[in-house]
Chains A and B, each alone.
Chain A
Amino acid sequence: MTSAKTGRIILEIVMIILSLLFLYPLILAIINSFKSFSEVMSDVIAMPQQFNLDNYAYVWKYINYPRLFINNTIITVIGLVGIILFSSVAAYKLSRTNSKWSNTIYLLCIVPMLIPFQSIMLTVLQLAKSLHLSDSTWGLGILYWGFGAPLAIFIYHGFVKGIPREIDESATIDGASGFKLFFLVIFPLLQSVTTTIIIIDVMWIWNDFLLPLLMVNGSPATKTLTLAAYTFVGQYTSDWQYAMTAMVMAVLPSIIVFVLLQKYIVRGVVAGAVKG
């Protein structure tokens, strides 16, 4: 028994060391974001001589960080609200209606999950241009409604099936119908799946790269955090201290949110994968 116990302790120590090694690249990125150019060049793994925020002040101004943060937020919020709203009502109706029509439409809604974005990226861009959705954070957010809908409908559709129809019926007797029935009675019952969808979609839209690159990379006023970091590295190919500062600033919001909501995020990601 005691040997099993020491075995566990050794395993525990080994795992903690492994996890620190695993995170070492991120730790190095953070350490080097506080260094000067010559410090980075002379030794990457040494600690900075002093923790000064000069790099941060420089990059903050150069890439206009507040603007990027607002852009990311606008795109994510608009995308999310549309996905949740349109997908939940449609999935509810499709799940409650038993007809050939309804089944066909449901299939049409979820089949696009099989289309890789790279297969249609050129024509998506052209269509977005002719609809005046390109070069605008709002337009990009709106485009996500369609891209996010198939998975959201799939998840909602399965969940609504588990809600007894009696609930709809008794609400109808009480005089609620249509949107009122859905938003007052059904939508609150969908809370757990809505949380799952929010988590998956925020992670996806906030970090997305290719679609924003095609849609909003033209002007500094519409760029996202990831795009700005991407362009920034292109301009400062050898100034690693600035590049790492930009990287840390780009990922910091995600890391803070993760630390705060870790439990929910992991649960949501698992639920999304298992249902999706």
Chain B
Amino acid sequence: MKMGRKWSDRLQFGIFTLPVLICIAVAFYIPFVMTVRYSLTKWNGIAKHPKFVGLDNFERIFTGDANFSSAAWFTIKYMVLYIVLVNVLAIVLALILDMKLRSTTWLRAAFFVPYILSLVIVGFIWKFIFMQGFESLGATTGWGIFAMSWLGEPGLAFISILGVSIWQSVGFYMVIYIAGLQAVPEDLKEAATVDGAGAFRKFFSITLPLLAPSITISVFMALTNSIKVFDVILSLTGGGPGGTTYSVAYDIYRDTFQNNLYGYGTAKALVLFIAVLVITFIQLGIFKRREVEA
């Protein structure tokens, strides 16, 4: 009787969990194992069998691939600037919206709207603004910034990609910070005012430390999103001008699907995965320690 009960429990456990395990295996684990296998081969997808080359692909990635190193450099610059700027801007917006202005509902909606749009489409709309809109705006206002080649010059194209990404997602981080601010007890803020703390003092010694959990979440999200930046570059610059705005993810896409370097592309893909893994663990470690102290 007891044995029967145990087996029926196990059977039920299996029935409840097996479907999702199969789905996850199909989406992640089986492709992942295949990726590891391909990364050790040379293959163009046409030849019948991939040719085993050991770790040659990885050696080439780190020693003789100018595309990869420039894409890696681009991605690192982009990540650092994106994480800092999007979070600072989001905190500023959240602080203003937390002041309970009459237009708060409208403002929150306005800054959030781009986040619900597809990044590829956001990229195209901005491409239109940079290419056509700025011409008209320049003619009307006579301002020099509208005459600059925002997509045609490497440095400016980088700033454009960064700016458009921030424009699209700042509202998301803003609402996380608004939720965080609402969790800061009102009497704590008031007590600080009574004690004669100025606005800046109050922000740095009370609000900011209490926002720590929101900052952890937002930095984490900003990091995992920015390391994979792809869609917006594809539609905004297409990697140009002169191949200067390829990110790592876009470089992998180029090698795999445009140059048909299946083995080499998957090796790069694996390098990206390991980078994500290492950065995630470092970050979790840092923030865990920091939060315990605070």
Contact = CB atoms under 8 A, between A and B. Distances in A.
A121 B114 CA distance: 26
B111 A118 contact: no
A232 B34 CA distance: 34
A96 B24 CA distance: 21
Residue of A116, A118, A121, A147 contacting most chain B CB atoms (<10 Å) = A118
Interface in B168-225: 172, 175-176, 179, 217-218, 221
Contacts of B175: 266, 269-270
Interface residues of B, number: 81
Interface residues of A, number: 85
Residue of A16, A90, A116 contacting most chain B CB atoms (<10 Å) = A116
Nearest to B139: A43
A105 B18 CA distance: 10
Contacts of B221: 273
Contact of A112 (B29, B35, B119): B29
A112 B110 contact: no
A12 B17 CA distance: 52
**Would you call the interface of chain B mostly helix, strand, loop, or mixed?**
helix
A141 to B, nearest CB: 12
B265 A122 contact: yes
A97 B190 CA distance: 46
Given A116-B228, A143-B26, A262-B109, A209 B119 contact: yes
A115 B107 contact: no
B102 interface: yes
Interface in B95-133: 96, 99, 101-103, 106-121, 124-126, 128-129, 132-133
Contacts of A255: 113, 116-117
A20 B111 CA distance: 9
B124 A233 contact: yes
A61 to B, nearest CB: 20
Contact of B13 (A43, A93, A112): A93
B110 A19 contact: yes
A122 B20 contact: no
B248 to A, nearest CB: 8
Interface stretch (A62-70, A160-168, A239-247): A239-247
A123 B34 contact: yes
Contact of B26 (A121, A146, A274): A146
Contact of A15 (B30, B103, B117, B262): B103
A231 to B, nearest CB: 11
B253 A115 contact: no
Interface string B24-50: 111111111011001000000000000
**Would you call the interface of chain A mostly helix, strand, loop, or mixed?**
helix
B249 A23 contact: no
A11 B12 CA distance: 60
Given A229-B121, A240-B132, A89 B176 contact: no
B27 A254 contact: no
B107 A243 contact: no
B128 A207 contact: no
Interface string A100-132: 001001001100101111111111101100010
A247 B31 contact: no
B193 to A, nearest CB: 12
B103 A26 contact: no
Contact of A274 (B133, B217, B252): B217
B266 interface: yes
A80 interface: no
A89 B137 CA distance: 55
A259 to B, nearest CB: 8
A257 B13 CA distance: 38
A216 interface: no
B35 A120 contact: yes
9 contacts: A15-B96, A97-B13, A109-B20, A122-B38, A127-B31, A143-B26, A209-B120, A250-B118, A254-B117
Given A44-B137, A82-B23, A120-B28, 11 more contacts: A16-B103, A19-B106, A32-B128, A108-B24, A116-B249, A146-B24, A146-B28, A147-B27, A247-B125, A251-B118, A258-B113
